[in-house]
């Protein structure tokens, strides 16, 4: 009998690595958010598949080429492997906002590709975001929206976070990726079966 894989979709910049306004253009510019790689490893060890869905408009703007992007992602994979973690895949949109494509978040194209690749209903898939744009993408794709305050949401006050959540009902807010993993693993935990006391 086939079971839906346990799958989590992560944004990249601000969730796995420190966000840069000027884009991550080279491997040495890719710096992990503290604790994020270990959080992915914890998901992996608990039997979860983890994929990344990321907008990479730097490609469309000519700021980074495919070889450089591949080098950045190779570094990301190496750093993950060093702590016992892995990503199954990285799905990315290379277009600029002006291209009006279907794969650039907040549109749901990347998530639909992921759902098709894994043969999974997206409503069962948590998506971790650090911007309203990505939360709207999660909503459009039918994913379960989660906001972490480790990236671009880190500097927002409670009122602005509340306003974001109000636009995407059902959003869960977490301090960082580690806190999200705590939430998911605790929620997934089922009581162990044991002997029944009939007395």
Q: DSSP letters along 127-153, please?
A: EEESSHHHHHHHHHHTPEEEEETTSTT
User: Is the distance from CB of 122 to CB of 102 less than 8 angstroms?
Assistant: no
Q: Which domain range does residue 21 map to? A: 7-184
In a domain, 137, yes or no: yes
Residue with token string 């998506």:
127
Residue 139 lies in a domain: yes
pLDDT of residue 5: 79
Question: pLDDT value at position 193?
Answer: 38
2 belongs to a structural domain: no
For residue 70, the domain's CATH number is 3.40.50.1000
Per residue of the chain (199 residues), give pLDDT as tens. 344 679 999 999 999 999 998 889 999 999 999 999 999 999 999 999 999 999 999 999 999 999 999 999 999 999 999 999 999 999 999 999 999 999 999 999 999 999 999 999 999 999 999 999 999 999 999 999 999 998 899 989 999 999 999 999 999 999 999 999 999 999 987 444 344 444 3
Q: Report how far Cα 132 is from the mean position of its chain's Cα atoms.
A: 14
Q: Is residue 92 part of a domain?
A: yes
Within 10 A of 29 (CB to CB), how many other CB atoms are there? 16
Query: How many independent structural domains does the chain possess?
Result: 1
191 lies in some domain: no
Strands 7-10 vs 126-129: parallel, antiparallel or unpaired = parallel
Report if residue 192 sits inside a domain: no
Looking at the domain assignment, is residue 189 inside a domain?
A: no
Does 196 fall in a domain?
no
- Distant-in-sequence, close-in-space partners of 9: CB < 8 Å, separation ≥ 6: 51, 52, 53, 111, 114, 125, 126, 127, 128, 138, 143
């Amino acid at each position: 009998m086939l079971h839906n894989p346990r799958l989590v979709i992560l944004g990249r910049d601000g969730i796995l690595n420190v966000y840069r306004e000027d884009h991550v253009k080279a491997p040495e510019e890719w710096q992990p958010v503290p604790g994020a790689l270990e959080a992915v490893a914890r998901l992996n060890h608990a039997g979860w598949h983890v994929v990344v869905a990321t907008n990479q408009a730097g490609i469309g703007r000519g700021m980074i080429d495919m070889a450089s992007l591949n080098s950045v992602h190779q570094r990301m994979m190496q750093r993950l492997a060093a702590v016992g973690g892995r990503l199954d895949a990285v799905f990315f949109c290379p277009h600029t906002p002006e291209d009006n494509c279907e794969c650039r978040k907040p549109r749901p194209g990347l998530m639909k590709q992921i759902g098709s690749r894994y043969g999974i209903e997206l409503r069962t898939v948590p998506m971790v975001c650090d911007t309203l744009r990505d939360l709207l993408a999660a909503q459009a794709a039918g994913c379960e929206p989660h906001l972490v305050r480790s990236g671009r949401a880190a500097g927002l006050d409670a009122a602005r976070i509340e306003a974001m959540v109000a636009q995407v009902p059902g959003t869960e807010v977490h301090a960082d990726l580690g806190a999200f993993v705590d939430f998911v693993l605790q929620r997934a935990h089922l009581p162990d079966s044991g002997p029944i006391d009939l007395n």
